Every structure is written in C-alpha cells, then in structure tokens.
Amino acid sequence: MLEVRGLRRTFSGFVAIADVTFSVERRQIAAVIGPNGAGKSTLFNLITGHIRPDTGHVRFDDSDITGAPPSAICRMGMGRSFQHANIFPKLTVFENVQAAFIAHRRTGTNFWLKSRSIFADETRVLLRSLGLLGQADTISGTLSYGNQKQLELGLALAADPKMLLLDEPTAGMSSSETKATIELLQQIALERELTLLFTEHDMDVVFAIAQKIAVLHQGRLIAAGTPAEVRSNPEVRRVYLGEQHP
C-alpha cells in the first residue's frame, strides 16, 4: 500500500531523515515510534507531500507520489490527522466536515449552489459515527481537545481515504479519551478497510494495536517488524525502549 524507499532529507546540513526504507501492507495497522526529534513528523511530512525529499521515493497504492502536492496526494486516498488538532476553528463542527466533503467531491468550484444543505446527510452520518452529531452546530474551536481530535479524524474520513496517517492521535488526551479514541480508530479501520500508519508516544497503545512497528532514531530506521521482533531487538532496547521499559 505504502512503500518508502531510500528517503533522505536534510535541513541546512542537519540530517532529519537518512535513507529510510519501509513499507506498509494493505489493511495493516503500523506504527512509527522513536524518541523526540527522531524525525517522525518529518517522515510524515515527506510522505504527505508537505516536504520534498532530497533523494528517495514514496509509492502509494502502486503509483509514485514523490514530490506531488499535498492536495493531490490527499485526493489519491491518503488522509492525515496532525499532531495538534488541526481544524477550521471558527466554523461549526458541521461546516468543518461538510467542507471536507465539498473538497473531496470536487464541488468547490461551484459558485452558485447554496452550500447550506449540500452533503448534509453524508455529513450527519459521519458525525454520528464519530459521536459528534450532538455538537454539530457548535463552533469547533470551543470543543474539548479530545473532541477536536475526533473532528479532525472526521475531516480525513470525509475524503473516503484508503489509508490514514495519524500523527500522535492521542497526544494531550486523558487516559479515558485515549482509550475511546483507540477503540474508535480500530473500529473505523475495520469498517472502512483502512490501512493505518501512526506515530505515538504511549507505548502501551502502540503494542496494543500495531501489527508492524518501525523504530526511528536520529533520522535512521533502526528496526522494523512485528511488535515481538521490535521488542527483542537489542539496538531498540539500547537506544529507546531500554530507557522507558527497564
């Protein structure tokens, strides 16, 4: 589904990502972990087109998307949520998701329709599956942080993606919010036959749901494999897990 080969990116001499190669299979739930500054966000930005790689290739769903603009990659079926809840804060919850439908169904070039009722049913169905229907008319910036992250997931799902990239989906959440979000993610991934790639600080979350784990350290990939393989990898234990899981 997703294949990253020999990806490299430097920022004025600093090597943020050094020759990273890995792949995610269709319908797999995969995680990228690593200490702060390991290059996880940079890797995501390289995959989704926000940053161009110096060398290397990204293949998604059997086509080369290296260097394509984010909007094009999004339309090919890659959804993304960001580390900080990244929504349209002054629009209502309903308008947020509706805008994503408008963008995905390419009705944004329509100058003349009334936007109020367009894709209203689809928007409500999606909001219900996220548990946000009751707050449809709330200005989204006033939602709780957990709800904002769920709404952001809704923005990604409105594009009917084949794959979701989630940058720390539970960052800043309470433990009950974290649990609810993880269950929601697993359920949605199953229902929509999604491929998931996520980064996460919480190791319990990672080892609970990931089928494949890639470990980044200082921009290099030091291990990739099943949770069991990664857990027993000596280098991973030394640079990363060893510090947190003695």
Partner 1 sequence: MTHPLIRRVPWTLLAFAAALCIPLLASRFYTSLATDILILALFATSLNLLLGTTGLVSFGHAAYFAAGAYTCAILMKNHGMPFTAGFAAAGVVAGLMALVFGFFCVRLTKIYFAMLTLAFAQIVWAICFKWNDVTGGEQGLANVPYPDLGWMASIPGLGGMRVGEHYFYLTLVLVGICLLILRRISESPFGRILTTIRENPERAEFIGIHVRRYELAAFVVAGVFAGLAGALFGIFNRGVFPDFGYWSKSAEVLIMVILGGMAQFWGPLVGAFTLTALNQQITSYTEFWPMVLGLILIILLYAFPAGILGTLVNVLGGRGRRTDA
* Interface residues toward partner 1, by CB under 8 A: 48, 50, 69-71, 74-75, 80, 82, 86-92, 95, 98-100, 102-104, 107-116, 118, 139, 155-156, 158-159
Strand, coil or helix: 223: strand
Decide whether 92 or 211 has the Cβ nearer to partner 1: 92
Phi-psi region of 240 (alpha: psi -120 to 50; beta: other; left: phi over 0): alpha
Decide whether 99 or 197 has the Cβ nearer to partner 1: 99
**How many other C-beta atoms can be found within 10 angstroms of the C-beta atom of residue 183?**
11
Closest approach of partner 1 to the CB of residue 102, in Å: 5
Decide whether 19 or 160 has the Cβ nearer to partner 1: 160
Closest approach of partner 1 to the CB of residue 155, in Å: 6
Cβ–Cβ < 8 Å for 233, 220? no
**Separation of alpha carbons 143 and 141, rounded Å:** 6
Kindly tell me the sign of the dihedral angle through the C-alpha atoms of 47, 53, 56, 62. Answer: positive
Decide whether 74 or 241 has the Cβ nearer to partner 1: 74
Closest approach of partner 1 to the CB of residue 237, in Å: 36
Closest approach of partner 1 to the CB of residue 159, in Å: 6
Nearest partner of 159 among 86, 81, 101, judged by Cα: 101
Decide whether 8 or 75 has the Cβ nearer to partner 1: 75
Cβ–Cβ < 8 Å for 48, 230? no
Sort strands 163-167 and 78-81 into parallel, antiparallel or unpaired. parallel
Closest approach of partner 1 to the CB of residue 106, in Å: 8
Closest approach of partner 1 to the CB of residue 44, in Å: 11
Decide whether 90 or 245 has the Cβ nearer to partner 1: 90
**SS (HEC) of 87-133:** CCCCCEHHHHHHHHHHHHCCCCCCCCCCCCCCCHHHHHHHHHHHCCH
